[in-house]
Structure 1
């Protein structure tokens, strides 16, 4: 009999006034070896959170991006907290038939409850004043998932087979009430972002009625989701030429049934294949290629009122991996193309808390990634990553006018660069003392579908420098990290035409974290 108890707690404020995120987690685990070849594990996770209104992260102004102080917020103190209770019960059993074959069965039951509010403007005026509105955000989610699979290995002649086969099932029900709303401000007494008043709002605080069961309120608001799927999966990895060439052949059959937001239930099924090839050219070089298809359920409510379809598509990827300098360095170069059909995105002509979406039709993402990691000198290590991504709408669903064929898909950076250097003194009186530094650069960031009325108002290149100092000896370690070392005004955002305003979320200014660890 083995046991483990994980307990964590957090009391967290923000660089924006009146925001907080307090939570704690309790997660006991028990494992019991029923027989020498059979292991039973049961885990329970409970998380409780009390946090401020989630909409307070967003800042609005008609004057352009980053035109308000980094710490600005439209949240008034005294707003009711958003409370979350999240329960997960996980059970698994593993049975080894032989050294080469194993059966695994696992199941999870999750219950998520949330009661809170979402802050969002009802109107933003040209002078920067606004009417703040709050809607209810009460939610209940129940999900049960189970998997049973067997994996093992056998040989046919000189071929080695690695088999993975099993069943995958899920049943999810979701209820949400966003149908109650309250306006904090009134015409003639708007909230002024340049001279904010954080007293009691002129219309008072919201007082929503949560006494009726959430299932009934969700039915009235159209906030229900019922989603089920079951799948069978079979994979064989074949190894040839003394394991230098590996061919993976796999297929998954999936059945989906879903009904969402008051719509009728739809069912669908599909077989999705997967083929992978990996070749060890020599002991330090390998190349690989991959093709697989996707078939995933998704939930949403289309502005057109039509039924939501599952996501379909495919992924193609090729790559080259190599080691250098007697294994001190390794590189990976990858090129890929991901095609998705029917994927939903929030309707830019509606408020984000409306729950309305549009179906893109088809989008294609193409890109390359390069990874480099290794040792420059004894004790001096480096990780470097660069990615180029181009994601565009390649087909538009009939009667959808908010996007055009060839439009860039928002929400990503065309160029992403990350690097991290770490140095640890290897000997002498200062042995165990180390330094680290990391740099992140996001270039060519894309905003939302709505074009800015000012072509010069675009998201600038995102540059963040972090640094650290650490000391380790035996089982003891102290680590001091400083994030956003240059104290830059960092943010992401977009333009929303329905409010005629720019919207952004700020990252914290320069901040530090001290960690102390002792292992025994």
Structure 2
């Protein structure tokens, strides 16, 4: 069983009960920041909805001839709606969670205009998806830090909402990535996941907009975050240097945490499934004082999981706590923390193929490791945000996120000597401490008679890594026969834990600015720029220590959005990003950073007042200045390799996605991506024109959907998901591994017993498809999970 610490249930319970303090909560609508100019009333209501999260249902002809009043500032939604309607002969009243538009002086809860009802139902502000039941959201800010709708953002954007997470049973970020349009996962062993988009590795992840690097070693430390704390995940594909600073031109994955509620809320969940997998969740929130100016929330999760393999299992504990305090009417302070501990009886490497890459015919439950293997990680986060609204509608945000990560692992891996398979072993300990800090000012300004938006800010992020470990020169399992292996036969070896050491620290500082210019009623231009200073230092004292700097790297962002009509917009954008590299040139200096550029054009549509979003995009990306090996005769020391920044990879393709409400009671998300990434210039000339990474799929289709039955069957819902990809391969000099194209289907059936109790059944890999989920090498492939079942029940106050 797992060896290290875990969160005890008693501790989880005590945290849960603490969130229920202040039972006399006063439910009230939270103020939202609005900027709606004078315009036709139908257009104003659409803009009001996009900015506030309020849903407004109305027929366009019923509002013909009416013009709105301007609304600007931070207001409660009902107050803002009344101001918007001033002078139109209409007014609005609040009834519970809905606002009703009616003629001034009219009585009753609704007014019928031309046979149609106009009702505004409050959805969580700021793009929050919890409680909406939606598969899309109204506001995203993961591309420029300016709040814009998906239609207003000139890049490909996907949002995995809280409802999708629940319907599909997506318990962690790995599950979410596998179900997100355009994203894929490659594994190096069962516990080392790498995320990919548009042909490149995603090497940054964001928490509430604050980036954290997924470097070569930190990805081993940072296990997939638990989804119980997430309201949604926003993904912007392409180069995202304006938001993140340095990195690959792949994607920004932004994890948006849940916020406290001002009314009593308790949710208790339990799940049980195949291979003795069990999970419990507790989510509790409330106001912590009578006025509701202090609010808290605690979320916990615990898992005890078996495995489909012959040997193995895991224990997972998670706690998330957050508090919001309204210091004044205009100032809010947020403080939160999370802790995640994963103890896994899991080996270092995956399964082998034959030496030539052909399949050995091993069953999916095969385990060729040792019973003493483990992979134990824990991460701690402490975060805070201060937000202040000024009288001129500008807003100040100061945010910080601190992470402490640890890994202790002991395991084995395979190696071939000719056709002979051997097993080797190693033991390692890493610590990875990370800090990310950001401050910015944002708000509206007027220029040439029009109102625009801008944001200016500065950020810093730091990483300190310290790793050490050891390995055995002799094989742990020499001449291993995969068909006859006893995982308990080899005694646990001892290691010199300081045979290998690596210590380094990085610091990246940046200043940035962006603006959204409303050039004309249908034309919007988004411009942005960022300057970065990057500093890397090896600190372990080895002979080959490397230190390097990047000074004043300029990142650029430009986008144009043209509204064709009330439904469709065309856009074009240019974005870029840089990535430092530590290879030396012929003069002994560090070569210049790689640069990634993204050119994209597309068409976006917004239907049902933003409850359904659709997009199609064509993109071309270049990663230039990749390290290219020089002939040794050009190097000052022939025993030390030198490089030039001349390599280049091109990625081009198409993104299509539709997400949201298809019909009453029917939500869906469907996306197709085609990506072809090839070498244009490379050290190995023979690579030029070939696929950059053929392990990654070029064609991907992903679908998830849920339909709530009507009439006497309205307590039932049915849904599921589908994912499909083309064939892939890994080819080296001595072997080739092929994975044929495959499609996976999952099914979901839900039944709501009453207003408090809901049940759900998820059947995954319905047709029990056998496939490689990863083809890293001929000594490390991984099988996907066989058909499995999970039953869940949830009680909500």
Give the TM-score, by structure 1 length: 0.84
Residue from 700, 710, 718 that aligns with 1:416: 700
Pair 1:489-2:775 in alignment: no
Shift in Å, 1:374: 6.2
* Structure with more strand by fraction: 1
Q: What whole-Å deviation, never above 9, does each CA across 1:476-511 have from its counterpart, x for those lacking one?
A: 321111110000102144474xxxx46421011001
Q: Residue 383 of structure 1: which of 669, 673, 676 is its match? A: 669
Query: How do 1:346-425 and structure 2 match up within 5 A?
Result: 361-373=647-659, 378-396=664-682, 400-401=683-684, 404-410=687-693, 411-425=695-709
Q: Which moved more, 1:60-69 or 1:419-428?
A: 60-69
1:291 Cα shift? Answer: 0.2
Equivalent in 503, 510, 515 of residue 236 of structure 1 = 515
1:336·1:368 contact (CA, 8 Å) conserved in 2?
Answer: yes
Aligned counterpart in structure 1 of residue 385 of structure 2, from 92, 96, 105: 92
Task: Kindly state the Cα deviation for residue 342 of structure 1 after the two structures are TM-superposed.
Answer: 5.0
2: CA distance, partners of 1:118 / 1:406:
38
Q: Which residue of 1 aligns with 2:304?
A: 11
229-238 or 130-139, which deviates more: 130-139
Verify the 8 A CA contact 2:469 2:501 in the aligned structure 1: no
SS of the aligned residue for 1:39 comes to strand
In the alignment, which residue of structure 2 is the partner of 1:102? Answer: 395
> What residue is the counterpart of 1:466 in the other structure?
746
Q: Is 1:169 the counterpart of 2:460 in the alignment?
A: yes
Of 485, 489, 492 in structure 2, the residue corresponding to residue 200 of structure 1 is 489
Q: Which stretch shows the higher mean deviation, 1-10 or 250-259?
A: 1-10
1:10-44 superposed Cα distances (whole Å, 9 cap, x missing partner):
11222112222212112222222222211111112
Q: Distance in 2 between matches of 1:513 and 1:155?
A: 55
Contact 2:775 2:782 in 1 (8 A): no
Q: For 1:419-478, what per-residue CA distance to the aligned partner results, in whole angstroms no more than 9, with x for missing partners?
A: 2343221111x2121211322110142x33526746xx5210021011110113434321
Match of 2:577 among 291, 294, 302: 294
CA contact (8 A) 1:403 1:449 kept: no
Q: Which whole-Å CA distance do the structure 2 matches of 1:337 and 1:277 have between them?
A: 17
2-side partners of 1:507 and 1:147: how far apart? 39
Name the residue aligned to 2:273: none
Counterparts in 2 of 1:271 and 1:103: CA distance versus 1, 3 Å: same
Compared CA separation, residues 296 and 326, structure 1 to 2 (3 A): closer
Cα distance in 2 between the residues matched to 1:458 and 1:186 = 27
Take 2:730 and 2:321, find their aligned partners in 1: how far apart are those partners?
43
For the aligned residue pairs, the C-alpha RMSD in angstroms reads 3.1
Query: Equivalents in 1 of 2:435, 2:481: separation in Å?
Result: 47
* 1:514 equivalent in structure 2: 791
Say whether residues 1:476 and 2:753 are aligned partners. no
The residue matched to 2:348 in structure 1 has which SS? helix
Change (3 A) 1:271 1:375: closer
> Which residue is equivalent to 1:353?
none
- Is residue 263–residue 307 contact of structure 1 (8 Å, CA) maintained in 2? no
Could you tell me how far 1:298 is from its partner in structure 2?
Answer: 6.2
The aligned runs of 1:114-513 (5 Å cut-off) are: 114-123=407-416, 126=419, 130-181=421-472, 183=474, 185=476, 187=478, 190-201=479-490, 204-210=491-497, 217=498, 221-242=500-521, 244-260=522-538, 262-269=544-551, 270-297=553-580, 307=590, 310-323=593-606, 330-341=613-624, 361-373=647-659, 378-396=664-682, 400-401=683-684, 404-410=687-693, 411-428=695-712, 430-445=713-728, 447-450=729-732, 453=735, 458-472=738-752, 473-494=754-775, 496=777, 501=778, 503-513=780-790
Q: 1:306 to 1:196 in 2, by over 3 A?
A: farther
* Contact 1:390 1:414 (C-alpha < 8 Å) held by counterparts: yes
CA contact (8 A) 1:136 1:181 kept: no
CA distance in 1, matches of 2:335, 2:756: 30
Contact 1:56–1:74 (8 Å) recurs in 2: no
Unaligned runs of 5+ in 1: 211-216, 346-357
Q: 2:331, 2:386 within 8 Å by CA — same for their partners in 1? A: yes
1:14-29 correspondence runs (5 A) = 14-29=307-322
Is 2:458–2:511's contact at 8 Å kept on the other side of the alignment?
A: yes
**Contact in 1 for aligned 2:739/2:771 (Cα 8 Å):** no
Deviates more, 1:166-175 or 1:220-229: 220-229
Deviation at 1:402, TM superposition (A): 9.0
Cα distance per residue 1:232-261 (max 9 Å; x no partner): 00111101323x211011100011111348
In structure 1, distance between residues paired with 2:731 and 2:449: 55
Distance 2:583 2:379 in 1: 22
User: Mean alpha-carbon deviation: is it higher for 358-367 or for 246-255?
Assistant: 358-367
Is 1:33 paired with 2:326? yes
TM-superposed deviation, 1:59: 3.4
Distance 1:470 1:451, change over 3 A: farther
Aligned-partner Cα distance in 2 for 1:143–1:223 = 16
Secondary structure of 2:353 counterpart: strand
Q: Distance in 2 between matches of 1:374 and 1:8?
A: 28
Worse-matched range after superposition: 102-111 or 13-22:
13-22
| Worse-superposed segment, 15-24 or 173-182 | 173-182
Report the CA distance shift for 1:376/1:256 in structure 2 as closer, same or farther (over 3 A): closer
The gaps in structure 2 that reach 5 residues or longer are 1-293, 629-642
TM-score (norm 2): 0.56
Could you say if the C-alpha distance between residues 186 and 322 of structure 1 is closer, same or farther in structure 2, counting changes exceeding 3 Å? Answer: closer
Distance 1:344 1:419, change over 3 A: farther
Q: How far, CA to CA, are the matches of 2:626 and 2:717 in structure 1?
A: 46
Per-residue CA distance 1:244-288 (angstroms, 9 max, x = gap): 211011100011111348532111131111101111110011011
Higher relative contact order (CA 8 A, sep 6+): 2
Deviation at 1:181, TM superposition (A): 3.2
The structure where helix makes up a greater share of residues is 2
